[in-house]
Structure 1
Amino acid sequence: MDRLGALSVFVTAAEARSFTVAGRHLGVSSSAVGKAVSRLEERLGVRLFHRSTRAINLTSEGSLFLERCRRILCEMEAAELELQQTRAHPTGVLRVSLPLVGMLMMPTLSAFMRSWPDIELDLDFTDRLVDVIDEGFDAVIRTGAVNDSRLMTRSLGEFRYKLVGAPAYFEQNNAPQTPADLMVHRCLHHRYPSTGKLEDWFLVDESGIPIENMSRKGVSSAIEPLIYMVERGLGVACLPDFAVRDQLAGGTLVSVLDNFVRHTGAFRILWPSSRHLSPKLRVFVDFMAENLFPDHVS
């Protein structure tokens, strides 16, 4: 930046043919302009101006250098203008890693693509622990705590789990009135693909004691098959509310035992630490924070 500043001083002085006039344009003294030019000449090893008590004139080397400097400064101005325009109209590829359950975010991601058509989303769905920086991701969306000091983070919102089933299923099997009633129901479970463990339903009884050893009718390592099975009356499942929001609103699923389910979670978006977000990443972070969970204020 010191070199660019020196070039700007040189160009201003050359065009004004006066250190005094250049100083007025730049808001500094004429002696400051003269010293900046002298330091530039010393670094370059050539004389840029013929000086007299009445005027300054470019040397042949100074004239050649002036044209180069003008091109450099014009390129800088063009780059700044391009970035300003990019901020208004972000473009480019945005690599984002999401958990497998992130497939259920597709309505929000599709809305982002419609709102910002010049940004190409490159989405990687996996539950493995990715290295955001080393693997070249612009951002990752995950649940759980953040332990990497190299990353910035922003909350996208919290969600709750709901115990859901199809109306027809509960008509045939009687809707459970207490968590203990689930022992005779067909329970469909989610298995974490990364660990092979079943996801806990975090159910408690009337005394607040955790309920364990639920029946097991089916298991899936992805959420979508569980939604499919539950909608078709094959059993009950404990699923995140955002995953079954449309089904609950449309009446194809109903929730039961809401007061006994203690399972909650939160999504966060993380990206490499940087003083300035790229425009495409900035609009993506803002859009997801505002639209994934509309009722949540981040």
Structure 2
Amino acid sequence: MAIPTENLGALNVFVQAAEARSFTAAGRQLGVSSSAVGKSIARLEARLGVRLFHRSTRAVTLTPEGSLFLERCRRIFCELEAAELELSQTRAHPNGVLKVSLPLVGMLMMPTLTAFIRAWPDVELDLDFTDRIVDVIEEGFDAVIRTGEATDSRLMTRRLGAFQYKIAGSPEYFERHGIPQSPEELLGHRCLFHRYPTTGKLESWCLLDGRGAPMEDLPRAAVSSAIEPLLYMAQEGLGVVCLPDFAVREQIAAGTLVPVLHDAVKHSGVFRILWPSSRHLSPKLRVFVDFMAEALFRPA
């Protein structure tokens, strides 16, 4: 059955409710009551002659027909957004607020983020640093940067780059304590550990001893839930750290930290940027994605 143009609002209500799996959450996003959302969905179901949702006191879930209709509605809105974007991009200059979620370690990306702000001063970055799992669509983020694989089918993704972990200390520290030649020699050193703020667990250095067994009992000189204090203490000669290479890149280039045991740490990771698949890249998001992909892992 054809849906008149004036009923696009009802389709938007349906999409919001389907993605949120909640009439209440959809109502919050749309600025209306959950009852108004329910009535709009009921009118749409009556017009289509099919049931779009299974309703219970706890949640709403899509029927098979609802799932098919959701995919078609997403394509409709993507085409509308693409048409608007096509018309506006000829004169559009990247500008406006760009809401981005980054992990706490993302605070070490500030040189790259600062460079972006200088390059695109009309884009206002609204940065949220957290290690919790965020709902990109529900919480209204334009993009998120995270490590690991992307598992949400609602999101588009682009790989920003890979990183390795490095063990490093200051030249003064190694003058006093000597340069370790094997992972076992770290048992005689002062190790500065990162603690995951969300779990309270220490981040493993992923080292193996000469027999291939994991080394889990390295001596702790200090522990921090943020990485910046660890960097400061390491540069002050208080111990050695094991951190992502991008976190110590500038310090190593400046000579305030020296990397050791280059091949001992096998731990690595990948940063990705993700954004809602229902949205075409706006000018501000496009330049941000391109800039981060090009500059984040550029050598110092």
Superposition TM-score, scaled by structure 2 size: 0.69
Structure 1 residues 79 and 180, CA, compared in 2 at 3 Å: closer, same or farther? closer
1:179 to 177, 180, 183: 183
Q: Distance in 2 between matches of 1:78 and 1:254?
A: 52
How far residue 209 of structure 1 moved from its aligned partner, in angstroms, is 3.1
Q: Distance in 1 between matches of 2:262 and 2:242?
A: 11
Question: What corresponds to 2:111 in structure 1?
Answer: 107
Q: Per-residue CA shift, 1:249-268, capped at 9, x if unaligned?
A: 11111011111111111111
Provide the secondary structure at the position in 2 that maps to 1:84: coil
Q: Distance in 2 between matches of 1:144 and 1:107?
A: 22
Question: What corresponds to 1:220 in structure 2?
Answer: 224
Q: Distance in 1 between matches of 2:261 and 2:177?
A: 15
Provide the secondary structure at the position in 1 that maps to 2:90: helix
Q: Distance in 1 between matches of 2:249 and 2:98?
A: 28
Question: For the Cα contact (< 8 Å) 2:85–2:282, is it kept in 1?
Answer: no
- Give 1:127's aligned amino acid: D
| Runs of 5+ unmatched residues, structure 1 | 5-76
Question: What corresponds to 2:91 in structure 1?
Answer: 85
- Give 1:273's aligned amino acid: S
Superposition pairs of residues 1-298 of structure 1, within 5 angstroms: 82-86=88-92, 89-274=93-278, 276-294=280-298
- Give 1:90's aligned amino acid: P
Question: What corresponds to 1:15 in structure 2?
Answer: none
Provide the secondary structure at the position in 2 that maps to 1:259: coil
How far residue 85 of structure 1 moved from its aligned partner, in angstroms, is 1.1
Aligned length: 220
Question: For the Cα contact (< 8 Å) 1:96–1:122, is it kept in 2?
Answer: yes
How far residue 270 of structure 1 moved from its aligned partner, in angstroms, is 0.6
Q: Distance in 2 between matches of 1:233 and 1:135?
A: 42
Question: What corresponds to 1:50 in structure 2?
Answer: none
Superposition TM-score, scaled by structure 1 size: 0.70
How far residue 80 of structure 1 moved from its aligned partner, in angstroms, is 6.1
Provide the secondary structure at the position in 2 that maps to 1:270: strand
| Runs of 5+ unmatched residues, structure 2 | 6-82
Q: Distance in 2 between matches of 1:277 and 1:136?
A: 15
Provide the secondary structure at the position in 2 that maps to 1:193: coil
Provide the secondary structure at the position in 2 that maps to 1:183: helix
How far residue 294 of structure 1 moved from its aligned partner, in angstroms, is 2.6
Question: For the Cα contact (< 8 Å) 2:154–2:278, is it kept in 1?
Answer: no
Structure 1 residues 289 and 79, CA, compared in 2 at 3 Å: closer, same or farther? closer
Q: Distance in 1 between matches of 2:120 and 2:287?
A: 9
Q: Distance in 1 between matches of 2:197 and 2:85?
A: 46
Structure 1 residues 82 and 248, CA, compared in 2 at 3 Å: closer, same or farther? same
Question: For the Cα contact (< 8 Å) 2:173–2:238, is it kept in 1?
Answer: yes
- Give 1:162's aligned amino acid: K
Question: For the Cα contact (< 8 Å) 1:186–1:236, is it kept in 2?
Answer: yes
Q: Distance in 2 between matches of 1:281 and 1:198?
A: 35
- Give 1:189's aligned amino acid: F
How far residue 284 of structure 1 moved from its aligned partner, in angstroms, is 0.8
Question: For the Cα contact (< 8 Å) 2:103–2:145, is it kept in 1?
Answer: yes
Provide the secondary structure at the position in 2 that maps to 1:94: strand
